[in-house]
Structures are given as structure tokens and as C-alpha cells.
A and B are shown apart, each in its own frame.
Chain A
């Protein structure tokens, strides 16, 4: 049954999202688009943090690098977005690989601080390299995505594209996670020394995880740029890295479904809790803290816990 999990989740994303796209009003569709775009970034983050255990507080910098690469290639150089997307992903992945070699020798809070510094540095550079990035004014006029005569230029149409891409990403991520590569990443997080002792090249696995997370982040960034058709530095500051982290923790780290659920939930939550007003972020922090303490495996972990309770009961019956 586990074998078809990737297909089930992909189908669920397309069907559920497709149904929602038919009934929701435009503003909600916009939020759904934001959820889908974030979910792709969070699925990527799950490789680095959820599987390989790399505490990164700089994921938004990868999203931003993808978004800015697309924005610059399409506006300044007039490239087609369809060509700019793979190039942006490639640029970001290569960048992640290059910084990964020195950076991933660090662990725990050292890695957290280094990636935080990286994200802050990214924001400073895009804010101040005005000739390339437009500084705080950002880059506008990013062309819309179109396929033949069909332009993805309203929320509903863009959502269809986003859902298909998200479904593909989710299916790919689940397949990878259940393969030797995914197991190697989890082994590295659980016990690096024991992982080495089963022939795993720990450095390579970590860099692979970081590159995968960067590639997904870049795809998410390019979609962000093509959706809003505008990029500015504050969309990729480290506060966003913390939001990606929170999405994964709330949904359930280590699980692709958790990444998607967390991304959707934390995108809609401010809407549902609008009555809290300015208190929302304070509530958000408290909720995150409560989940860390009481539900460390996130919402997806709830089902696992229930299943395990059932399993435990069975064992007691057959001593």
C-alpha cells in the first residue's frame, strides 16, 4: 500500500485543489496559490531539515535566489519564463552545492547561525545591489506564464498550474524519500557515525539534501515571481525562513504530507484568526512553542501516534 502513497498524495492534491479552485472566491484562490507555492518550498526544506537534520534558518534565501534569477532573466534579458525557470533552479542548486561544501561541516546551532547570517547577507545584497535588483523597489513587470494561447494570468488558472507542479514535486519527494537516498538522509540525521559505518558518504548525502532543498526552493521562488509578477527583498528575508521552518514543524517534519498541510494551514491561519488582529503573531509563536513541546511530530504525527497506540494494543494481546 505504501508503494502507491506518492500517487495517492499527488492525486489528492490535484483533486482537492481542483475542487477548491471551482468553488472558492478570488481572494481565497490567491491564498491557495500562496499555499501551493510555499508547499513546494517546504517539501524541499523537508529534505534538508526533516530528513537530513540540517538546521537551516536560511531557506528563504534559496527561494529568493530562484525568484530574482527568474525576474532578472525575464525582465533585463527578455528571456522566456519557461527557459528562465530551469536556469534559475540550476543557478540556485549550484550555489547551494558551492556553499554546502564549507558550510555543512558545521552542526547544530553553528549551522543555524551560519545559515541565518547567509539569509541576512542575501537580503542586504539584494537591497543594495540596485543596478541588478532594483533595491527596495524590487523588480516589476515579470511576464506571465503562458502555454500557447493559454495564459496563466488569473488566480484560478495559475492554481491549476501550481497544483500540477506541486503534485509532481510531492510524488517525486515521496519516491525519493522511500528510496535508498531518503533512507541515507534519515540515517545521517539519526546517527552520523553509524551511517558512515554502513558505507554512507555523510558529506555527500548532506550536500545532496541541501541541493535538493535549494532546487525545490528555487522552483517555488520562480513560481512566486511568476504569480505576483514582482519581487522585492522583504519577501525573502529570514523571517520567511522561520515561517518555512514553522510550516514543516506544524505539519510534521519528515513527511511530505506534513509539509503540504503545514504550508496550507499557516497560509490560511492568519485569515481564520483575523479577529486576533495584531495579536496573531504572538499567538503564532505560542502555537509553535506548544507544538514543539506537546506534539513534536506535528499534525501528521498525530495519525502515527494513534496507529502506534493500536499497534501497541495488538502486541499486548499476543504475548
Chain B
């Protein structure tokens, strides 16, 4: 197997707001290998973006990591100073944000903004940087790169701007690229184009990617492994096949039921998950999904289930699995007797 690139262990992160401590991440553990494409799915507020930002050391005020470790490419991110982090950001790990319309500085040209990251992390001179910037724009499929470099962000469309953001992210050939819902703010046709570009770049550059999204379609087309998050917790993780064909957690099942299928043979209904997420200011002691879960049991309300390992790669945190396991074990025992 290939080398472990990122290892997040029991990460806990809270936002200390005037209203109280918001526990945004609770014991999040994620591991990925070099060359992996990992999808993190979950609804808004589930902590998927917060997890990604913490890998960049970009936890926004008033958020703070209060426990756990982040190990990236041999760096202990959670222990690094801001100054050390700056050498890694945009260099070894870079990020593409959700909204390309607002992620580029409106008063600088595209060229300025690409060259900026090159000057920060490489020793290229002006001419070389210009050359590299042109190359990058070609790489992300923008025509007429020399002209684009002189343009301002507002002169480009949303899709083009996202391509520029990707170019900036790829400028220093990072080990890991984090894509934080890179297509959510774009039109459907543009979404497809950007996804195609990402898949193509992945093949070309063989880098590791974390794809954060609530769109399971994107995950299916691109990722090999999936982490499902709910209310600041990882509830299930596994390979694409395992998650799609053998979901174990009730939330994952709900998610899969709520996406439309094109090739549905009979008239299938889309089933939304009823209810709203729990209040993160006062998180309940039990499973956060319990209030919305159809199969909620008494124990779910009282305590958080441990992970049940279904296969080497597949694990899910649900009391139902514990129950099944216990029953299987008891059955086994009775047979033995």
C-alpha cells in the first residue's frame, strides 16, 4: 500500500462564540493515502469545511482546535506556528473555495494573483513566473492565456474564475488539493465542465484530492473513498462501493434515498430526511442523528455509539450495528450450546 499522506486523529474543534461553545468537530478521525481521492459528504453545518480548513491551519476566529492531532505529509499541523504553516499553505496543500465569484481579489489582475503564489513559494523570476502562469492557465483549459493574465476577475465568467482558482491552487504542485464544494455556486453545465477538468487533472498530475460536497453524484464520479459527516461527527466511512451499495448508517441511507436516479425503472419517490440538525451549542449526549432517525432506540438518545468495523475499509457508528452484532454473537453462543 502507498504512504499515508494525511492522518487526522480524534480532532476536536470548537467555536467560542458569545452565546457559548459551539462544538463544530467531535472526535473526527480521517486517514488518506497518497494518490487517494477522498470525498467528505454531509449537509451544511456538518463540519466538513471546518475539517478541511483545519488541515490548512485556517481555522477562523473564534474557532480553536481543542484536541486530537493532524498529521500531514510529516508535519504536525495542529502544533505548527502560523509562520511554519505559511510555508505549507498554497505550496504542499492548497484549496479551491466554493464561490469563485468572491474568492478572487477584485482589484488585481488574474496574472497578479497567480504570480503572487509563485513568488511566495518558488524562486522563479518575473519572466519565469509569467511563463509558468501561462502554462497553468493552459493546464486548466483557459483559452488565450496571455490575455487572461491581464484581465480582472470581473471580466471572467464564474466557470472561468473557478478555473483560475484551480490554477492558483495547482501553481506549486501541491501534494494535496482540497476542493470545498467547488461547483456548488456554478451552473449545472459549468459544474460538469469543472468536474471533468478535476478528473483530468487528477489523472495528469496524480495528486491527492479531498472533495468536500453535499452532492453524492460528484462523489460517485470522482472519489474512491467517502467519509460521511453529521453534526461534527464522522458517522460512516468506506469505499464508494461500500457506501453506495451497502450503507450501514441510517443517515447515509437517508442521503442516498434523497438523490434522484436517472435510470429508475419504476416510479420511485425521492425521500427527504425529516427534521433539522441538532443545536450545536448544546449537543445531546447521544447520537446526533437520533431525533431524525426512524429506527431510533432508547440507547441512541443516551450515548454515542462506537465505530463498528464492517470491513477493512468500511466502518459505521450506529447502535443498530452493535445490536445486530450482539444478536449474532448471542445466536452464535446458543448454537454453540
Partners in one complex: no
B contact residues vs A (CB 8 Å cutoff):
none
